[in-house]
A and B are shown apart, each in its own frame.
Chain A
Amino acid sequence: MKFELSEDQALLQSSTRDFLSSELPLEKSRTVMEHNADGYESAEWRRLAEMGYIGLTLPAAAGGQDLGAIELAIVLEEMGRVCVPGPFLDAILAASFLAAAGKQDALLADVVSGKSLVTIARQDSPFSGNHLEPTRFESGRVLGTKYFVPFATRTDALLVTTRQGVVLVRAPYDIVPLQTIDLAQRFGKVTFDHQGALIGGPELLERVDLLAAVGASAMMLGLMSRALEVTLEYVQTRQAFKRPIGAFQALQHRLADMLLKTESTRSAVYRAAWCLDTGDPDTALACATAKAYAGDASRYVCGEAVQMHGGIGFTWELDLHFYFKRAKTLEQFYGSTETQLEKALAAAGY
């Protein structure tokens, strides 16, 4: 038994941190997020692919590295620390689906190599609830509208969930961009009346969803770890009433709670990743736990970080708002907290 990362895993962590700090530091990503309508740069995406990141968890036959959820969590935690924009997790999830569905080798290889982008189109309504009719697949055609399709404008194909199963649809399609508060993620509303190929049943999404939960919560872990670090530095330097504000117990206790939530998220995320990798019977419960807890915890930690910075915390200039916004949007995507609570209850048999 050992909670620490193995040597290889620790190496992955440090090399990813180095890579991101030289290639995708936040001062650079911030410009991209502000000025590039796609939300990320193609050159950087190709670099990620070359470094093997997109194929991290994918089979070697598809050009992937065949690593597990723990490694995915390590990379996403690092990406969270510097708020990397772009469809990294979305591409991995779509590729995992393609790999599970089989018979899509060429497309899969193109996703892994960074040549093509595929994401999953799931959301049948802009708001939660089911007041709109779900997308259908009839006589070889996909009919309906999907909302919050990740990075839709850049995709070469989409995996569209329908009542009948998951359908592969190739671009072009009609896209209306949807802009959220989080510039690191781009979304589109996509309307379909398209030829498509049914490639898998909804059960294939189950494992993808578990991976999504672990991946998103690992990214939230990175966000909160970094937001806490930045705040700890700030409270030691910012002076008020002739002392560093970090000397005030009212802040100290909340900083202690921020650490508690961050470290508890770490326990939950890596436990879930480990369960997923080993096929542990608690996998479903552990993944739902990680996502539901990380959502609350990262919103709390990033929110407290903003609060403890005072006026400058409310500025666009300071980086913290990227963390705060990502935390909030990640809480709602990749299986919202509400969805995860239902999944947890079902997994426990309650």
Chain B
Amino acid sequence: MDLQLSDQHVMFRDELRAWLKANMGRPWREELRDPKATEDSMIELRRSWQRKLYEAGYLGMHWPAEWGGRGTTEVEKSIFEAELSRADAPPILNVLGIGLLGPALIHHGSEAQRRRFIPPMLSGEEIWCQGFSEPGAGSDLAALRTSAVVDGDHFVLNGQKIWTTFGPWADWIFVLARTDSKDRYGGISFILVKLDTPGITVRRLRQITGESEFGEVFFEDARVPRENLVGQIGEGWRIAMTVLAFERGATSLAAAERYGRDLGLLARTCKEIGRESGAVREKLGRLLVENEVLRANGLRMLANLADGKVPGPESSIEKIFWSEFDKRFRETALDILGPGGQLVRTSAEARLDVDWSREFLWSRAGTIYSGSSEVQRNIISKRVLNLPQEGR
């Protein structure tokens, strides 16, 4: 057992820290509380930040050299994410492209697709969104009904995607569509669609935060060139499942950095406002301890990656842990702060260190997206605990 980063990884981390110091603008939380900030301006800020990271060679690091790779592994990627989080850097805009589509193209795409799509995805020139969920297909994703019918050298798409993050800003969407209505899994294909294709409408949806980061995408006889199919017809489910596995990974470390920083700020506020009763201290202590367990889980995952182990269904444990903790943390923060914690960013008297009310609302999302907590527990009970399955 050894939880010490290797010299090479320490070097990578220190270089990155120095680079961030020299190149990062204001911390993200300061950007967010800028009175002039709008959703559009934040997207543009994130785009230009992504470009900087790209130019410095930090995106696609663990991919093959021709696609941005620099011979590193998942370990550097996890360190990179943790350091960005530690520095409170703006979140990378094209997360869905880089995190999901990138690996799909590298493992299942054609050479021409990689050449066409990967560079502008990494640079942030083209923003991608993920078209998996539908009004009638979320947890039960294979129930999806958006159809793609072959017509000469095109697919004709009809149907609707929903909860599409960045839909309102994206240039492209990767879609799971049904190419065979009789084959539940084998009838699904993975198709790349330009959002300005005639027949496509994108509508904003308003989230509980009041923002519209996600939207819905309607397809009415939208014609998409056949060359935009990734893999073969009917391979979409298999590709999506391997890709969703990439969405997980050592996320706990980055999460623990972020929560740890906010927790430190909460503790400071408690001192300032005189919230130091035993009841408050116990709450703070429990949050601190849980966050340290999150960090320990992250270190374990990182050490396993460094040791050449591929994360399996235990990523479900990570996903449940951080997302459920996020909810408890943000709820408790509001309890501790009292009514002032509920103030929205732009209100008089709102605290400027952390946007507590927004974090509180956002924390409700993590246990729903990318496999809800219930779905993750199903995965654990089936694949880790091997429990007998009832029909579901």
Q: What are the residues of chain B within 8 A of A70 when measuring CB–CB?
A: 1
Q: What are the residues of chain A within 8 A of B303 when measuring CB–CB?
A: 1-3
Within 8 A of A (CB), among B50-98: 75
Taking the closest CB of chain A, its distance from the CB of B223, in whole angstroms, is 43
Q: 6 tightest CB-CB pairs across the interface, nearest first?
A: A341-B285, A350-B267, A252-B381, A1-B306, A256-B377, A289-B292
Bound complex: CA A1 to CA B289 (Å): 23
Which chain A residues have a beta carbon within 8 Å of chain B's beta carbons?
A: 1-6, 9, 70, 232, 235-236, 243-244, 246-249, 252-253, 255-257, 259-260, 263-268, 270-271, 274, 278, 285-286, 288-289, 292-293, 338, 340-342, 344-345, 348, 350
Sample of 11 more A-B contacts, CB < 8 Å, known A270-B1, A350-B263: A1-B3, A1-B302, A3-B304, A236-B387, A252-B385, A256-B380, A256-B381, A259-B385, A289-B288, A341-B288, A344-B285
Q: What are the residues of chain A within 8 A of B1 when measuring CB–CB?
A: 2-6, 9, 70, 270, 274
CB-based contact B388/A246 at 8 Å: yes
Taking the closest CB of chain A, its distance from the CB of B378, in whole angstroms, is 7
Which chain B residues have a beta carbon within 8 Å of chain A's beta carbons?
A: 1-6, 9, 75, 263-264, 267, 270, 281-282, 284-286, 288-290, 292-293, 296-297, 299-300, 302-304, 306-307, 314, 316-317, 320-321, 374, 376-378, 380-381, 384-385, 387-390, 392
Q: What are the residues of chain A within 8 A of B387 when measuring CB–CB?
A: 232, 235-236, 246-247, 252, 255
Task: Select B317's contact among A263, A270, A285, A341, beta carbons within 8 Å.
Answer: A263
Q: What are the residues of chain A within 8 A of B389 when measuring CB–CB?
A: 247
CB-based contact B380/A341 at 8 Å: no
User: Given A264-B297, A271-B296, A274-B1, is A2 in contact with B307 using a C-beta cutoff of 8 Å?
Assistant: yes
Bound complex: CA A253 to CA B387 (Å): 11
Q: What are the residues of chain B within 8 A of A259 when measuring CB–CB?
A: 317, 380, 384-385
CB-based contact B381/A255 at 8 Å: yes
- CB-nearest residue of chain A relative to B260? A348
CB-based contact B320/A293 at 8 Å: no
Bound complex: CA A256 to CA B377 (Å): 6
Bound complex: CA A5 to CA B378 (Å): 29
Task: Select B289's contact among A243, A266, A293, beta carbons within 8 Å.
Answer: A293
Q: What are the residues of chain A within 8 A of B289 when measuring CB–CB?
A: 288-289, 292-293, 340-341, 344
Taking the closest CB of chain A, its distance from the CB of B292, in whole angstroms, is 4
Q: What are the residues of chain A within 8 A of B281 when measuring CB–CB?
A: 341-342, 345
Bound complex: CA A270 to CA B285 (Å): 20
* Most chain A CB inside 10 Å of its own CB: which residue of B4, B6, B264, B385: B385
CB-based contact A344/B288 at 8 Å: yes
Task: Select B296's contact among A9, A252, A267, beta carbons within 8 Å.
Answer: A267
CB-based contact A289/B293 at 8 Å: yes
- CB-nearest residue of chain A relative to B290? A293
Q: What are the residues of chain A within 8 A of B314 when measuring CB–CB?
A: 263
* Most chain A CB inside 10 Å of its own CB: which residue of B267, B378, B380: B380
Taking the closest CB of chain B, its distance from the CB of A264, in whole angstroms, is 5
Q: What are the residues of chain A within 8 A of B284 when measuring CB–CB?
A: 345, 350
CB-based contact B5/A1 at 8 Å: yes
* Most chain A CB inside 10 Å of its own CB: which residue of B2, B284, B302: B2
* Most chain B CB inside 10 Å of its own CB: which residue of A246, A253, A256, A289: A256
Taking the closest CB of chain A, its distance from the CB of B73, in whole angstroms, is 11
Q: What are the residues of chain A within 8 A of B299 when measuring CB–CB?
A: 3, 267, 271
Q: What are the residues of chain A within 8 A of B297 when measuring CB–CB?
A: 263-264, 267
Q: What are the residues of chain B within 8 A of A249 when measuring CB–CB?
A: 378, 381, 390, 392
Bound complex: CA A263 to CA B380 (Å): 12
Q: What are the residues of chain B within 8 A of A9 when measuring CB–CB?
A: 1
Taking the closest CB of chain B, its distance from the CB of A172, in whole angstroms, is 41
- CB-nearest residue of chain B relative to A341? B285
- CB-nearest residue of chain B relative to A73? B1
Bound complex: CA A266 to CA B317 (Å): 13
User: Given A259-B380, A267-B296, A293-B293, is A1 in contact with B307 using a C-beta cutoff of 8 Å?
Assistant: yes
Bound complex: CA A254 to CA B320 (Å): 13
Bound complex: CA A234 to CA B282 (Å): 36
Taking the closest CB of chain B, its distance from the CB of A52, in whole angstroms, is 20
Taking the closest CB of chain B, its distance from the CB of A2, in whole angstroms, is 4
- CB-nearest residue of chain B relative to A272? B296
User: Given A256-B381, A341-B286, is A268 in contact with B293 using a C-beta cutoff of 8 Å?
Assistant: yes
Q: What are the residues of chain A within 8 A of B306 when measuring CB–CB?
A: 1-2
Q: What are the residues of chain A within 8 A of B378 when measuring CB–CB?
A: 249, 252-253
- CB-nearest residue of chain B relative to A257? B377
Could you name 22 residue pairs across A and B whose Cβ atoms are closer than 8 Å? A1-B75, A3-B1, A3-B300, A3-B307, A70-B1, A232-B385, A236-B387, A247-B387, A249-B390, A256-B376, A256-B377, A259-B380, A260-B320, A264-B293, A264-B297, A264-B317, A288-B289, A293-B290, A293-B293, A344-B285, A344-B288, A348-B264
